[in-house]
Amino acid sequence: MKKEEIPQDKSTLENITKEMYYVKGDDGKYDTGLSKGWSVKAEALESAWDDIDNEVEEARRAVQNGKKSPVYFFMKKELMDDSILASYVGMMKFRVKWHFKPGVFKRLKHATLLKYAKVFNISVEELKSFEG
Amino acid sequence: MHTDYKHEQSAHCENGVITNFIRSYGHDFMTEPLAFGLGSGLFYIHLPFIKVNGIPAFAFRTMPGLIFKRTCRSLKINVESKRFRKPETAQNYLDKLLEQGKLVGCQVGVYNLSYFPKEYRFHFNAHNLIVYGKEDDHYLVSDPVMETVTKLSVEDMNTVRFAKGVYAPRGHVYWVDTIGDISEHDIKKGIIKGIKRNVRDMLHVPGPITGISGIKYTAKKVKGWRDKLGPRRAGQYLGQIVRMQEEIGTGGGGFRFIYAAFLEQAAAYFDSKELLSISDEFTRAGDMWRESAMLMAGALRGRASEQSDYNKMHDLLNGISEVEKGAFTRLSKLKLK
């Protein structure tokens, strides 16, 4: 890639930082140059976020329909999977999965709820009262 | 505090930390491409079974931490490092190192990294930055991928140092006590070793999923994705490749341009025309990777998502594999002194 070919497309990095590229200068030698963004990457990133948004929406509906507990929804919202969540709350993975069941969730102790609430950055009340 | 600390932006965080470390000890010869090449950073792997959100994983560089380890070892730089159980102990330790006037490398997770744009904050835990001081309740941070230095509150720093999940940093800090003389002979020896090791990693690792065979493997798979997974899911797989290849830190073209720049610098050390000409081959490979990313984005967004478009990607990826095979074979035959 040549220096004048560095893409300068709109991206979410704008106003935060620019990305560094290694490119060929006019003299045929390597140089560095900064890029505001590249539409190709922006599309890949955007579509990854579309997928995440869909999953979060599905999780919200699952809570609404009584299929999953709020723990499941907030896990999705925080882009976690069961093993990441398990390591944040310091519980075994199977236990976290068990808490995805609405019936089990309703009987959870305050201390357990507090662990989840802290990781999700919400109050225990918000966690308990979430209905989708 | 290092009032004279000079932040230099780099494409990739790990290279950047090494480069800034070594330069700040007065060794101006150090550059990002050199760090990348000494650490044999170029790689390819397609992991069909290790799935990130149900999508296979791809990598265009060696495992996190490895470039750092290899580069420092080949220049005989002694790096101390420590991990912790508790955030309080980790914070005290960092503060103590800073009081001693040291630059401290920190491994962090990006999910809670407040100065990063939200769209880039996934649960990725192998990001690296340098802490060069502390002012009141804030750490002074030199993040290699940022244009300028930045700050993190003590609380935020503790959070990102204790991110959880894959590659959990556990407060990982590392620092260098002193760096002795590094002669041109040492650098040249390091370059030869770095190239040899990279030839091995790209040409001779057994199995079908790594190096140039890995690129061929991906080519074959890509061709079948549209039928097997349907256009939507196939698009998600392609998006994953594009992001791993081009997102912050690769310097463009899946690190191929950084590697080409390394060979150009190596050519100057050895006064070798052959190295310069092989460097051009990696520039070509990088350009082809970018062309492939454009095709993939087209399929991903439905502009060009026919089977014929997937066939084009297949052919292009096979072509890349051939170019890189040729280039590494030439490197393996090179006699450098």
Provide the pLDDT for residue B181.
92
Per-residue pLDDT tens over the stretch B7-38: 999 999 999 999 999 999 889 999 999 999 99
Q: What is the mean pLDDT of chain A?
A: 95
Provide the pLDDT for residue B198.
98
Q: pLDDT tier at A65 (50, 70, 90 boundaries)?
A: very high
Provide the pLDDT for residue B177.
83
* A40–B9 C-beta distance less than 8 A: no
ipTM of the shown complex: 0.93
Provide the pLDDT for residue A13.
81
Shortest CA gap B247–chain A (Å): 7
Q: Where in chain B is the domain with CATH 3.90.70.10?
A: 13-30+78-176
* A47–B239 C-beta distance less than 8 A: yes
* B11–A83 C-beta distance less than 8 A: no
Provide the pLDDT for residue B130.
96
Q: Where in chain A is the domain with CATH 1.10.260.40?
A: 51-129
Q: How large is the average pLDDT for residues B221-233?
A: 95
Query: What is the DSSP secondary-structure string of B236-291?
Result: HHHHHHHHHHHSTTSTTGGGHHHHHHHHHHHHHHHT-HHHHHHHHHHHHHHHHHHH
Shortest CA gap B100–chain A (Å): 31
Q: pLDDT tier at B216 (50, 70, 90 boundaries)?
A: very high
Query: Using a CB-CB distance cutoff of 8 angstroms, which residues of chain B are in contact with residue A18?
Result: 147
Compute CA distances B148 → B16, B28, B143, whole Å. 13, 20, 8
Find the range with the poorest average confidence among B47-51, B121-125, B142-146, B293-297: B47-51
B248-264 b/e (C-beta count within 10 Å ≥ 16 → b): bbbbbbbbbbbbbbbbb
Percent of chain B scoring above 90 in pLDDT: 89
Nearest to A17 among B145, B246, B257 (CB): B145
Quick one: B13-30+78-176 is in which CATH superfamily? Cysteine proteinases (3.90.70.10)
- A105: tokens are 């969730």
B50 has a pLDDT exceeding 80:
no
Residue A83 touches chain B, beta carbons under 8 Å: yes
Shortest CA gap B1–chain A (Å): 25
Rounded to the nearest 10 degrees, the angle between the axes of helix A70-77 and helix A39-64 is 170
Query: Using a CB-CB distance cutoff of 8 angstroms, which residues of chain B are in contact with residue A12?
Result: 117-120
Per-residue pLDDT tens over the stretch B116-154: 988 889 999 999 999 999 999 999 999 999 999 999 999
Given CA atoms A92, A94, A100, A105 in this order, what sign does their dihedral have? negative
Compute CA distances A31 → B98, B180, B194, whole Å. 34, 29, 22
| Nearest residue of A to residue B255, measured between CA atoms | A22
CATH number assigned to the domain with residue range A51-129, chosen from the 4 options 1.20.120.450, 1.20.58.110, 3.40.50.970, 1.10.260.40: 1.10.260.40
